[in-house]
């Protein structure tokens, strides 16, 4: 039976795997599978389990729920996980050998973080942020029934909202639950937020990350510290670590390893995330183990079939504590690496054109569960066996195999081209019925971030446009991760210069290809990719049409409207009330009079990262200038991440509007 072209509706057929966790004895992997219920226009997530020895893969939890964050008990007999049921989240536990899951916590409405078992398996540690009583489902429903208005929000913090979450009305604290009784106890309190909690090996203490400076919102990430507190609460003690971001803590004997940066500046400055270790007793300074590795840690690859900026997963200690394992982003890929405590000669344990998204290990740290995505294969679970500093991979799941047999996919071709003297990486995706004697229209994509990367991961949107007859070209210009730190940091306070030159070098390279019609080229991108689309059409008439999605237009107004408030003389020099020159010079809105390219503007009313006022300014400017522009305004239940996790029907609508716009001008 011949294969068919991929469609926008195929989005509803995909099974998206996440968070594989290897059992302590290495015999089973538990993981999540996210699917779309097209009829009810919603996502469902369930736990699945795979047996390593028998190759059996089966669904483990069921129902109209969203299950996530599965974690094995130390003895491997139980699995704790979070469940959202009827819009309420609680922790649940299920026996490994089957049986009914039982609800463990009965907390008030709020958000619960990933649970962590105590070393003796009697308690669970987690973060919890209570929903403000004024905005609980019960309160909102009661006001609707009594025809009362919603109350005002009283805001006193600078960082008071977060895209994809909403208003941050309460603080996130540490909690512990007794597994036998279900009794919960709050461990921390105060006007601080805590994250990344872990148990000490003896179960008597908890380490966590928190910004406890005089003004935590002033530099929310730069002033983060690692703290240690008794399991019974009390006054925490701070460990001696350099200023900068911190997270992904893991504790082994008397040392804590973590991901972090040594950065006293604005957190948006793209310094490499590195691996550090610090003595748990606080008697010696933290040491960086990856100073010689000029790459950032974690997975920074963007795709529409995985969450953005997942960072990969925590580092893993070897069983003897002499080595650590971690994910590194490298030229469009992400691979598992290792390094000894001397910090010398970090080495890659995997290689090839693929992305390791997350990992976990069993007790001996000789076997790993890895979630791996490839250009023509959605993320699947692999088992890696460590032998002679190499990880031998074996694929365990094939949940999308039947769908992959139906559709014709195009294998992206990796290319390198020059932007002046700088080598730039990119990928070409050809139409599925490609013939070199024909001339095709081309769609040039610019990724968001900007400090992220395109790479060797499955991207439904790219395949969709290629199947419709377009050559799709996506690249990693300067500002992208996966390269040297200088490659990313060189565009700081200089957007629209080096990065734009690289984008135009990509257009030149594409136009030189014999099968590309240079007169039928479009540019598109979201977030920073939308910014660069706006910048491009304000500085060149090269493209026949363009699509700007969830974009930045005015860096002046962005200072006070983004969910991460601007910093004075931080990533960008200046501010929004006195020193405006730098931000305005780098704002595409300044050059709106130059835009003659037909522009489709796509934005979400619920976007807090790049608020919709950005799109409004661009649209009104173009309409006043009598230019060709269409504004697609998605409702408030969408956010900055519409293309990855928005309402399924609106994700489908967005893809089809892209297609209609491109066809109008390029076909």
Catalytic residues: 527, 640
Q: What's the rounded Cα separation, in Å, for the pair 227 and 221?
A: 15
Q: What's the rounded Cα separation, in Å, for the pair 173 and 125?
A: 11
CB atoms within 10 A of CB 572: 25
- Given phi > 0 = left and psi -120 to 50 = alpha, else beta, which region is 244? left
Give bridge partners of residue 348 from the DSSP assignment: 337
Element (H, E) at 335: strand 333-340
CB atoms within 10 A of CB 553: 29
Residue 601, both tokens: 């503007």
Element (H, E) at 251: strand 246-252
Short-list 378, 503, 375, 520, CA closest to 447 = 503
Radius of gyration for the alpha carbons in the chain, expressed in angstroms and rounded = 25
**Residue 398 DSSP symbol:** -
Residue 20, both tokens: 């594989």
- The answer to whether 250 and 317 are in contact (CB under 8 A) is yes
Intra-chain end-to-end CA distance of the chain, in Å: 29
Q: What's the rounded Cα separation, in Å, for the pair 341 and 360?
A: 20
| CA angle centred on 309, ends 12 and 393, rounded to 5° | 75
Report the DSSP pairing between strands 440-446 and 516-526.
parallel
Short-list 71, 81, 83, 91, CA closest to 29 = 71
Dihedral (CA of 372, 378, 379, 380) sign: negative
Who's near 286: CB < 8 A, 6+ residues apart?
A: 239, 240, 241, 242, 276, 277, 278
Q: What's the rounded Cα separation, in Å, for the pair 534 and 588?
A: 6
Q: What's the rounded Cα separation, in Å, for the pair 632 and 620?
A: 13
Q: What's the rounded Cα separation, in Å, for the pair 204 and 187?
A: 13
Element (H, E) at 528: helix 528-537
Any idea which residue has 């594409």 for tokens? 510
Scanning 64-183, the segments in alpha helix (DSSP H) are 137-145
Q: How many residues does the chain have?
A: 667
Residue 495, both tokens: 């957007």
CA distance readout (Å), 36 to 40, 45, 68, 402, 638: 9, 9, 15, 17, 16
Element (H, E) at 653: helix 648-666
Q: What's the rounded Cα separation, in Å, for the pair 126 and 269?
A: 30
CB atoms within 10 A of CB 430: 18
Short-list 108, 109, 112, 110, CA closest to 125 = 112
């Amino acid at each position: 039976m011949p294969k068919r072209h991929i469609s926008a509706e195929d989005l509803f057929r995909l099974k998206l795997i996440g968070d594989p966790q290897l059992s302590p004895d290495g015999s089973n992997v538990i993981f999540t599978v996210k699917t779309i219920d097209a009829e009810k226009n919603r996502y469902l997530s369930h736990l699945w389990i795979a047996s390593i020895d028998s190759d059996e893969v089966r669904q483990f939890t069921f129902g109209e729920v969203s299950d996530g964050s599965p974690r094995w008990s130390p003895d491997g007999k139980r699995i704790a996980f979070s469940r959202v049921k009827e819009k309420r989240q609680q922790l649940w536990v299920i026996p490994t050998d089957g049986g009914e899951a039982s609800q463990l916590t009965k907390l008030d409405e709020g958000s619960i973080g990933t649970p962590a078992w105590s070393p003796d398996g009697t308690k669970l540690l987690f973060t919890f942020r209570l929903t403000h009583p004024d905005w609980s489902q019960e309160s909102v429903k009661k006001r609707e029934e009594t025809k009362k208005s919603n109350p005002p929000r009283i805001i006193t913090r600078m960082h008071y909202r977060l895209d994809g979450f909403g208003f941050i009305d309460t603080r996130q604290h540490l909690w512990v639950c007794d597994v036998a009784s279900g009794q919960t106890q709050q461990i921390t309190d105060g006007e601080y937020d805590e994250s990344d909690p872990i148990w000490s090996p003896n179960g008597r203490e908890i380490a966590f990350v928190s910004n406890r400076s005089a003004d935590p919102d002033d530099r929310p990430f730069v002033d983060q510290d690692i703290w240690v507190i008794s399991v019974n609460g009390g006054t925490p003690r701070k460990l001696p670590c350099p200023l900068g971001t911190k997270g992904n803590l893991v504790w082994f004997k008397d040392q804590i390893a973590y991901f972090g940066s040594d950065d006293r500046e604005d957190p948006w400055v793209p310094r490499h995330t590195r691996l550090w270790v610090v003595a748990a007793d606080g008697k010696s300074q933290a040491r960086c183990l990856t100073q010689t590795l000029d790459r950032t840690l974690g997975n920074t690859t963007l795709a529409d079939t995985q969450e953005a900026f997942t960072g990969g997963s925590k580092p893993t200690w070897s069983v003897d504590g002499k080595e650590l394992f971690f994910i590194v982003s490298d030229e469009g890929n992400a691979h598992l690496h290792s390094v000894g405590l001397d910090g010398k000669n970090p080495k890659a344990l995997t290689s090839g054109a693929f992305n390791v998204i997350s990992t976990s290990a069993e007790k001996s740290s000789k076997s790993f569960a890895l979630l791996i995505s490839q250009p023509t294969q959605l993320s699947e679970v692999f088992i890696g066996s460590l032998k002679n500093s190499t990880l031998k991979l074996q694929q365990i799941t094939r949940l999308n195999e039947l769908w992959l047999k139906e559709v014709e996919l195009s294998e992206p071709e990796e290319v390198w081209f020059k932007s002046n003297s700088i080598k730039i990486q990119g990928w070409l995706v050809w139409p599925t019925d490609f013939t070199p004697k024909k001339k095709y229209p081309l769609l040039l994509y610019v990724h968001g971030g900007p400090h992220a990367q395109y790479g060797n991961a499955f991207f439904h949107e790219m395949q969709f446009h290629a199947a419709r007859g377009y050559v799709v070209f996506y690249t990693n210009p300067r500002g992208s991760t996966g390269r040297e730190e200088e490659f990313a940091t060189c565009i700081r306070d200089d957007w629209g210069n080096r990065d734009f030159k690289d984008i135009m070098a990509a257009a030149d390279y594409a136009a030189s290809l014999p099968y590309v019609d240079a007169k039928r080229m479009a540019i598109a991108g979201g977030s920073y990719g939308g910014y660069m689309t706006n910048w491009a059409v304000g500085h060149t008439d090269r493209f026949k049409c363009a699509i700007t999605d969830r974009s930045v237009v005015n860096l002046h107004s962005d200072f006070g409207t983004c969910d991460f408030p601007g910093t004075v003389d931080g990533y960008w020099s200046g501010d929004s009330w006195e020193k405006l020159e730098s931000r305005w010079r780098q704002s595409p809105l300044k050059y709106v009079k130059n835009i003659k390219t037909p522009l489709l503007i796509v934005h979400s009313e619920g976007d807090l990262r790049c608020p919709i006022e950005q799109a409004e300014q661009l649209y009104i400017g173009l309409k006043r200038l009598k230019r060709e522009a269409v504004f697609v305004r998605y409702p408030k239940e969408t956010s900055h991440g519409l293309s990855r996790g928005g309402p399924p029907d609106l994700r489908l609508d967005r893809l089809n509007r892209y297609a209609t716009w491109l066809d109008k001008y390029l076909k």
